[in-house]
Amino acid sequence: MAKGKTFAAKLAHEKAKKEKELCPVCGAEIKTIQVIKNNNKKGKWSPKKQIVQLCKCNEKEVLG
């Protein structure tokens, strides 16, 4: 069975791109970050990890 990619491997793959992605709205560089949110299922809390593209446009929504 194949081993799943770790976050570090996914991040290294993203950084291997030669071109930097720029946001079409604000023109800032788009960064890849990992966000951990609380997930409530049937009265039990568990963390949910997501990989998010971040720029100046959505910085306040994601980090706030």
Reduced to 3 states, what is the DSSP secondary structure of residue 36?
Answer: strand
The whole-model pTM stands at 0.57
Q: Give start and end residues of each alpha helix (H) in the chain.
A: 7-15, 59-63
Mean pLDDT within 31-40 = 88
Helices and strands in the chain, H and E counts: 2, 2
Q: What is the percent of the chain with per-residue pLDDT over 70, rounded to a whole number?
A: 91
pLDDT at 2 over 80: no
Indicate the pLDDT class of residue 42, thresholds 50, 70 and 90. confident
Write the pLDDT tens digit of every residue in 4-19.
678 888 777 777 766 7
Q: Which residue has the higher pLDDT, 18 or 54?
A: 54
